[in-house]
Amino acid sequence: MKTQVNYQCVFDYGTHKDSVKYSEVGSYDYHDGYHRIRFQSKDGMMVIEYNDENVFLTINESHLSFNKHERRDNDYASPHGMIPLTTQIERLQGDERALRFVYTLYQGGQLVSHAYMMIRLIELEEELMA
């Protein structure tokens, strides 16, 4: 379904914070137990898949996998090459209208950042899409 995606993520690096915001028309669907949001941002195609236990974030060719009960090792593709990152979910709440997701990123056992993601979805009327 066509959806207005309002995305915000704040990255807390300890010494400073960065914020990313998008408000884009994208799509939402629910399939095989996962909510899936897709939208094109100025930084590339974003796909976010989630349920009560797992989150998968994809930005272009970069992927991060999260699980509520364990840390996950990932190889994150960046413009500077592959970066080994470990992910951990701190809080996860999502449904067909919103996602609230707090996670931590580690590199080499050291904390890199806390991230606070909030996504709000608004279903668009078909006549507005014409």
Q: Structural domains in the chain?
A: 2-129 (2.40.128.20)
Q: Which residue has the tokens 């690096």?
A: 13
Mean pLDDT rounded to a whole number for the chain: 93
Query: In the prediction, which pLDDT does 126 show?
Result: 62
- Convert the pLDDT of each residue in 3-32 to its tens digit: 999 999 999 999 999 999 999 999 999 999
**CB contact at 8 A, 3 and 122:** yes
| Of the candidates 23, 28, 29, the residue with the CA atom closest to the CA atom of residue 42 | 23
pLDDT of residue 78: 83
Secondary structure E strands in 51-126: 54-59, 62-67, 72-78, 81-94, 98-107, 110-123
pLDDT per residue as tens digits for the range 82-101? 999 999 999 999 999 999 99
Residue 127 has pLDDT above 60, yes or no: no
What is the reported pTM?
Answer: 0.89
